Structure 1
Amino acid sequence: MEATNMEEIQLRHVETDVLIPKMMRERAKERCVERVEAFNHCCKESGFLMAFKCREQNSALKECLTIHYRDPAFFEECKQQYIREKLEFERTGIPAKNRKQKLPASM
């Protein structure tokens, strides 16, 4: 099945309900990197008291991530990226994560 238009691609439920949301979480963390780093730093500094001391950083991080999770345009962007990666995998047989790795200089 070769589709010329990405809108023609039929996605399985696992793709729309699990795999694309997973991609959204990963990309949202990249978009909220400052809040992720602030929360991580606070946790490292606070030790066992992080649940109390890092509430502000945790709230800011959750707010940033939630904005992206609820954005239909962001879902569509991630869906299109997922479809491109899926089509490339079908064409090459190489998963996206392996394509990003550098090949050794000598084989």
Structure 2
Amino acid sequence: MERPASAAGEPKLRHVEKDVLIPKMMREKARELCSDKVQDFTKCCQETGFLMVIKCQQENAALKECLTAYYSDPAFYEECKMEYLKQREEYRKTGIPAKRKQQKLPTSM
């Protein structure tokens, strides 16, 4: 059973979709887009150990700046929302979650 579209003609989003699932997708995509800064911060933390709080401030600040730029970008939110809606529509048609579809089946058993 298909849910009615909102007044603007867009599919209606549940609270959990707006406040949990789409932001989760945004975090995952932002981490991919900021992967160089994630790697720099991770490398610094691994090399420094317990002193990472002091020694990795520059890498941490660069990572936060990159991620925050994506989190606060309305166009990025809309992009993730459209991707989520596409996945949701596909799931409703097939019953197969997107993550399962992407998994490869073993070629030999």
CA distance in 1, matches of 2:107, 2:3: 34
Equivalences for 1:8-23 in 2 at 5 Å? 8-23=10-25
TM-score, length-normalised on structure 1?
0.91
The Cα of 1:104 is off from its aligned counterpart by 2.6
Q: 1:38 aligns with which of 37, 40, 50?
A: 40
Q: Structure 1 residues 85 and 3 mapped into 2: Cα distance closer, same or farther (>3 Å)?
A: farther
Q: Which residue of 1 aligns with 2:87?
A: 85
Count the aligned residue pairs: 105
Counterpart in the other structure of 1:60: 62
Higher RCO (C-alpha under 8 Å, 6+ residues apart)? 1
2:50 paired residue number: 48
Point out 4+ residue stretches in structure 1 off by more than 6 angstroms: none
Take 1:10 and 1:104, find their aligned partners in 2: how far apart are those partners? 38
Tell me the distance in 2 between the aligned counterparts of 1:34 and 1:96: 26
| Paired residues of 2:87 and 2:98 also in contact (CA < 8 A) | yes
Structure 1, unmatched stretches of 5+, are none
Q: In structure 2, the residue corresponding to 1:8 is in which secondary structure?
A: coil
The percentage of counterpart residues that share the same residue type is 58
CA RMSD of aligned residues (A): 1.8
**Partner SS, residue 104 of structure 2:** coil
CA distances 1:32-51 after superposition (whole Å, capped 9, x unpaired): 01000000000000001100
Give TM-score, length-normalised by structure 2.
0.90
